[in-house]
Amino acid sequence: HVGVSNATPLPLWRQLQETAIFLIAIRAGESSANALSDVEPALRPGVQALGFAVLRNLGTAQGLRDSLARTKPPRDADALLCCALALASGDAQDAAYDAHTLVNQAVEAAKRWPATQGQANFINACLRRFLRERETLLPAVLQHTAARWNHPLWWVKRLQKDHPQHWHQILQANNARAPMTLRVNTSKQSVADYLSALKAIDLIANRNGEQGVSLQQPMPVERIPGFAEGVVSVQDAAAQLAAPLLLRGLQPTGTRLRLLDACAAPGGKTAHLLELADADVLALDIDAQRCERIHDNLQRLGLRAQVRAADAAQPDTWWNGELFDGILLDAPCTASGIVRRHPDVRWLRRESDIAQLAAQQHLLLQTLWPLLRVGGHLLFCTCSVFRAEGEVPVQTFLKNHTDAALLPSPMHLLPTSAAPAPVIPENLEDAPGLEDHDGFFYALLRKV
């Protein structure tokens, strides 16, 4: 049973039904956030935990399904079967339930769900056979690349090409759980004092970067000490590099820095800029609803920025003609660097997305560069590990712009986890003290 506080424990078969519906939504192209929003609140925490575990082991599950079934079962039965196989074949140390319990409850779910009642005997037969023959079935299935690494084959091949020395470690990191990392607002409290405050209430955490603190156990944001007061924000350690990188050595032409955060939602980097600098910040996002999240984050932190719902690629709709001292371009990308935090991404993306998104990145670079003053900085970043969304567009831009100089930058910062053999960032000196973080790309450009 998966329980929720102050409520009757919820039976696992019910959770498995909802997890199968969650997987159906992902396979239909919905994001995990949208799919979870449709789950009733009492079931949502359990479904998210089970659903993310399924997505991290879906390649293996689909390989097992192909070995156990002569033909692919109907959509709903296939989703329930793959959910059970993913959870039953995963790492035993991470499993919340033993394999026999999962199988029994999955069969119960099939019998009680009208969409799968006709396939209940088939699901039962497949799962019982898996339990009997696990020791021979699983090794055979894991000979296949997608099943072993739980990523689409095209994704693995691209990583092998882009990062021939580190591709397998990137995939290992992707399949690990991401820590809950906080950014301390050092204008309100030092990192050392915040760590001491956590220790005083028996919360275990470690420093992660200049202003980062990673909690050993995640918790709801409303329970995080200092969150409501604006002392800390939730932000991955690699994402925390953006604001200090852009500001490094940047001097205002007037009394205050004039900064643009071009793709700002949900506002974490906007807030970080304001925590670190006396600046006038214009935060843009094309999505008006996501702009509300920027407002909410800034209000909690007691910070102010000009927030506008606008397309950064169309400055004639929002730019007043005054040049910026600094531009943060956190460009749209495949999100291939934050897969451990969003395990649905690997199954939602298509290889063709990379070229389309790289074209958007190129357009944004071309469009925003004229809005930067001479001597100003533009920080181009993506949460991607694919070179087509990092090194390639930057090198192309530099070849075509003699007024752009590349300053020391982390470039491709590859994801690491607390697991053995972490991936080493390409430029470790530009990412000091990071231990457990997502994948990002950073290139700091100066107009000369």
Out of 82, 83, 333, 383, pick the active-site residue.
Answer: 383
Rounded Cα distance between 12 and 166, Å, is: 38
E strand or H helix at 260: strand 257-261
Rounded Cα distance between 105 and 103, Å, is: 5
Q: What Cα–Cα distance (Å) separates residue 65 from each residue in 179, 199, 282?
A: 31, 47, 51
Rounded Cα distance between 86 and 77, Å, is: 14
The residue with tokens 């609140």 is: 41
Paired with 411 in beta bridges are 442
Rounded Cα distance between 103 and 134, Å, is: 13
Contact yes or no for 379/326 (Cβ under 8 A): yes
**Kind of pairing, strands 324-330 and 306-309?**
unpaired
- Residue 383 appears among annotated catalytic residues: yes
Phi, psi of 327, rounded to the nearest 5 degrees: -130, 125
**Vertex 180 angle, CA 39 and 89, to 5°:** 60
Kindly give the residue spans of alpha helices, DSSP state H, lying in 142-252: 145-149, 153-162, 167-174, 191-200, 242-247
Tokens (6 digits) for 266? 């949900």
Answer positive or negative: Cα dihedral of 361, 366, 372, 376. Answer: positive
Q: Provide the annotated active-site residues.
A: 383
